Amino acid sequence: MFLKRLELAGFKSFADPVHVEFEDGVTAVVGPNGSGKSNISDAVRWVLGEQSARNLRGAKMEDVIFSGSEKRSPLNMAEISLILNNENSQLKIDFSEVAVTRRVFRSGDSEYLINGQQARLKDIVDLFMDSGIGKESFSIIGQGRVEEILSSKAEDRRAIFEEAAGVRKYKYRKQQSEKKLDDTEDNLSRVRDILYELESQVEPLEEQASLAKEYLVQREELKEIEAALLVFEIKNMHDSWMKEKDLVEEMENRKKRLESTLSKRETKQREGIQELKEIEGALEEYQQKLLKVSEETEKQEGLKELWKERKKHYVQNRAQYRKELETLQEKRADLDRVLEAEQDRLKEISLQVKETKKKLKETKSSLENLDENKEKKIEELKSVYIDLLNEKTSLSNEERYLQEQSEKTNQSIERQKMENAELLSSRVKEEKAFAEAENNYRVCQERVEELVKEWQDKKRRQEKRLKEFEKKETLYYEGLRHMQHLEAKIETQESMQQDYAGFFNGVKHILKERDRSFKGIDGAVAELIDVPEKLQTAVETALGASQQHVVVKDEETGRKAIQFLRERKLGRATFLPRSVVKSRLMAERDTDKIKGDPSFVGIASELVSTKETFETTVRHILGNVVIATDLREAKSLAEKLQYRYRIVTLEGDVLNPGGSMTGGSLQKKQASLISRQKELETLKSNLASLTKDTQKLEEELRSWKHKKQEVEKELEDLKTDGELERENERDAKMALEEKKLSLNALRDRLRIYDLDMQEAEQEQLKRKERRSSLSRQLKEKEAELEELNERISSLSESKVKDDSKKTSVQEQLSELQIQHAKQEEQESNINQTVHRLTKERRDLTAEIVEKDEANSLLEAELSEKTVDASSIDGELDQKRTQKKNYTEKLNKLREKKNGLQELQSSIDAEVKETSNQRQYLQEQLHEHEISINRLDVELDNRLHHLQEEYELSFEAAEKEHHLSIPAEDARAKVKLLKMGLDEIGDVNLGAIEEFERVRERFDFLKEQKDDLEEAKSTLLSIISEMDEEMTSRFKETFSEIQAHFQSVFQELFGGGKASLELTSPDDLLTTGVDIAAQPPGKKLQHLALLSGGERALTAIALLFSILRARPVPFCVLDEVEAALDEANVNRFAEFLKDFSRETQFIVVTHRKGTMETADALYGVTMQESGVSNLVSVKLAESKELVKSGSLREE
């Protein structure tokens, strides 16, 4: 078998249909980078079933479809056909030529065809299985595949050897066998669960069946005697009941007449009592009003007396205030006159003091002008003049120096400005380059952060989902186990229900035949009612054997059913014809007595639910049965009902009419007749809910597994992208650092120039300011020198004139100083007197104001209290009038009350007499009612006993059973038989038939269990054989590859040695494979420590070793020798040429040495942008082209 042809249409850059013919030997596909030559190897990989778009260098599968170019529109379909020569029938298909085709559409749909016929991906995989051809086999070695093989883990590298050993089909079969084993285990687990369930039933059912047979014998004898005795007692009781009933009716008529008379008198009595209450209420009201008015009158009188005393006090105080006010006002007038005289004297003396001060000042000024030291001042001014002349000379010298320095600095500033302009231009360029580098680095950082964050988020979500998956997986398997358990229980319950297990034999046959032989059979009572779970024990006890009574449409249907049982000797049954059965209810007055009692649960017939059609029948059975909370509380209800009704507790204890009690422990049953259907519905509901939840979990788990693969692939892609971006980020950071250093150096130079410029300009500014200051100081010094010269001349002339005036002015100054001192002392004394008088007047005025305000307040209070006194007198007259009116009204009400009390006493005596008569009659009536109720209950109990225990009505028992011995002897016999049945205890009458059915099913399932265990053993044996076969094949293949590896390595390297090592030699099913190599001239070392070229050549050596051990029909190599140097490429090419005698090679390459050894050459070009073309070159021409280098890589 070999590859004949490859047909491409619309695949990647091959827009037009292309046919590539292949011959034996080596076919090379060459072309420039980017021309699409590697799309040839991608096409072969894709048509063989590749599902990963990433392995095809795309993002999604639709990327393999031609996406269009500048001149061409996108295509909607890509198609590849691989045509193989199969004349040696290596492929298991009856064709000498096999064409495998794959199509994909832009809509996402895809197709597979084998020789033009529709196929599945699985069919493609099966076709090439064990042929050495496949997307993951050594028939295709793509770009980077060699490095991937050698850099993988030792455990992962095992897959290469497994493929070569051909154990994949055994691995697949083993997986199928393990799946079958899991299914067998599940089925076995289910059968075991059902067997466990049935095994727990077989032994108890066998015991119950044996006990039931013994019970039936004794029960039949008891039925014959007790039924006859019950008929005898029922007749006697009915006669007594009729007599008591007539007497009760007569007494009830007398009672009604008495109650009518009593009602009228009680009405009159209530009216009188009501009227008395109204009068007493009015008396109470007017007494309260009289008391209130009396208290208010006394209060007003007290206020009136208090006002008289206060008015007297106010008048006395007012006279006293007026007298004191007049005295104070006279004192203030005298003080005002004295103060005015003192203030006039103060003004006069103040004017004299001011005049004297003025004269003193003028005299002192004259004296100062006559200075004796003018000669000394003249000498001082001359000394100052000389100093000023020296300072002027120094300032002139400094001004000339500053002028010279300023000129030199101006020249330096001009040079610095020119250099600074050049630096600023360079800085603009550097800042622009730095901004670009900074932006590039920031973009790289953001991209890296985005990828890291995206990877972390996905990883975190994946880990979280993994935990949820593990929880849901646990729930899923628990749900499956629980479902199996429920299915087993449902199967058992349905089987029991279909067979009417637990029903009497006669009832069972009637229910089975109701749809075939009878019309009008409604069903057993247990089937027709729905009982709340908490009431099931109570209702089951209340019903007893009535659970199995059959409800029928009418009497005719019941007779036909009885005839059916009799003719076939199938047992007996009790029938309840709906047409004649009547409700049996408690008397309403009895129900009212117990309704409010906390221990009263309800009437049994009202606590169960049924269809409207059967309500009368249910009331017939349960209408007079009371349900109570417990036995202790039931006694209280029985006393209220005079022990006339049957009371059943929630625990199943019974308080019978008349006072007898039945109770104790109840044997636990598997499922009662009443609850069986409800329990089955509950089981089915639980199973449906559990199935739904389990299916939902299964869908979630399946979806999660698919999602997990997608996320893992996304994480790997993100990791690869992140590493690339990290590299870009490092490059961008280095470029940014270089630009930053260059820009900082330029900025430092500019900063230094700026500082120098600022310093020079500041220095110039200081010099300018100093020169201005010096100029100003020179002018000031010249002005000062001129002024000093004039002062010296003036002082010399005035010194002669002032000496004669000095003596006269000094005498005048002494007289004025004495006069001024006397005037100041006089002014101070008068001023103190004025201040003292002013303070006395201010204090006196404050006291007058205080007295005047107090007098005004007294006047206001006196006026207000006079108004209040008038109001008090008016209110006092009004209260006295009200008091008189209330007294008269009270006297009239007391007279009316006395008359009504006498009349009420007469009415009370009449009511009491009538009530006593009624009470006596009621007691008599109650005694007779108790007697009737007791007889009624006893009759009902005996009738109920007939129905419950023996499925007999009174009429049927009267006809069929006759008492042949005295009643007392019959009662003793019944007692002995019941004691015997009590010793036997509760029995399951359906256990006889149920035991046979369960036993038969148990034996059948046990056989199934044995068959499944045998199948399990067989599968385990098959898996073991698979393991042995895979181990043997792996070991054999590994040995062969290892043997070839040493020789191939030496051929490719020209010497050296290499070996393959197993990481776990004792476990050949899971062991990994390590590679050690020793190129010529080097020591033996692990593969990872070799150089890149050595690693690549070692990989190629391993590849050819595998191909030599397990030859493949053809092999596609995609630039596998890219990492080799020229010498190694030539050795590779020579080896490839030799190997092509055994295997057909298609090599995608751009290395000259490989091209030269090719038997055929195809060139891939891209003359039109985005569209690849294929050019076939003849061998002779190709060699010439290779030699000229026209096909070298562009």
pLDDT tens digits, 41-55: 889 989 888 887 777
Tens digit of each residue's pLDDT (9 = 90 or more) over 765-813: 887 787 788 788 777 777 777 777 777 677 666 665 565 555 566 566 5
Which helix (H) or strand (E) is 100 found in, with range?
Answer: strand 97-105
Alpha helices, DSSP H, located in 1054-1122: 1092-1109
39 annotated as belonging to a binding site for a ligand = yes
Task: Please list, in sequence order, all residues whose beta carbon lies within 8 angstroms of the beta carbon of residue 1113, skipping any fewer than 6 positions away.
Answer: 1, 2, 3, 84, 90, 131, 132, 133, 139, 1143, 1144
Q: Which pLDDT does position 1180 carry in this prediction?
A: 45
Instruction: Give 118's pLDDT tier (boundaries 50, 70, 90).
Output: very high
Which pLDDT score is estimated for 198? Answer: 74
User: How does pLDDT run across 1142-1151, given as a tens digit for each residue?
Assistant: 889 999 998 8
Exposed e or buried b for every residue in 668-697, given b needs 16+ CB within 10 A? eebbbbbbbebbbeebeeebeebeeebeeb
Provide the percentage of residues in the chain whose pLDDT is more than 70. 84
pLDDT at 940: 76
- pLDDT at residue number 400: 66
List the single range of 146-160, 671-685, 1030-1044 with lowest mean pLDDT.
146-160
- Partnered with residue 83 across adjacent β-strands are 5, 99
Report d(CA 305, CA 565) in Å as an integer: 117
Task: Please indicate if the annotation marks 33 as binding a ligand.
Answer: yes
Exposed, middle or buried: residue 172 (CB in 10 Å: 0-12, 13-18, 19+)? middle
Q: Would you say residue 39 has pLDDT above 70?
A: yes
Q: Is the pLDDT of residue 69 over 50?
A: yes
User: Is 660 assigned to a binding site?
Assistant: no
β-bridge pairing 1114-1118 and 140-141: parallel
pLDDT at 99 over 90: yes
272 is in an annotated binding site: no
- DSSP code per residue over 210-260: HHHHHHHHHHHHHHHHHHHHHHHHHHHHHHHHHHHHHHHHHHHHHHHHHHH
CA–CA–CA angle 185, 188, 189 (5° rounding): 85
Check pLDDT > 50 for residue 851.
Answer: yes
The single-letter code of the amino acid at 1158 is A
What's residue 1192's pLDDT? 39
Q: Say if residue 870's pLDDT is above 70.
A: no
User: What pLDDT, on the 0 to 100 scale, is given for residue 97?
Assistant: 92
More confident residue, 364 or 959: 959
What are the DSSP E strand ranges found in 487-614? 521-524, 550-552, 575-577, 600-603
Please, are residues 673 and 502 in contact by the beta-carbon 8 Å criterion?
yes
Residue type, 842: R
d(CA 503, CA 505): 6
Q: pLDDT tens for residues 906-962? A: 887 777 787 778 777 777 877 777 777 777 777 777 777 777 777 777 778 777 778
35 is in an annotated binding site: yes
Query: Would the annotation count 657 as a binding residue?
Result: no
Nearest to residue 1158, comparing CAs of 24, 2, 82? 24
Annotation-wise, does 506 bind a ligand? no
Q: Is the pLDDT of residue 422 over 70?
A: yes
Q: Is 891 annotated as a binding residue?
A: no
Instruction: Please report the sign of the dihedral spanned by the C-alpha atoms of residue 306, residue 308, residue 311, residue 312.
Output: negative
Q: Please, what is the average pLDDT of the chain?
A: 79
C-beta contacts of 1024-1027 below 8 A and 24+ residues apart: 1026/170, 1026/171, 1026/173, 1026/174, 1026/177, 1027/174, 1027/1069
3-state secondary structure 1079-1094: CCCCCCEEHHHCCHHH
Those residues with Cβ within 8 angstroms of residue 824's Cβ, 6 or more apart along the chain or in another chain: 353
Residue 420 one-letter amino acid: N
pLDDT band at 226, cuts 50/70/90?
A: confident
Instruction: Give the integer Cα–Cα distance in Å for 1062 and 449.
Output: 42
Cβ(697)–Cβ(472) below 8 Å: yes
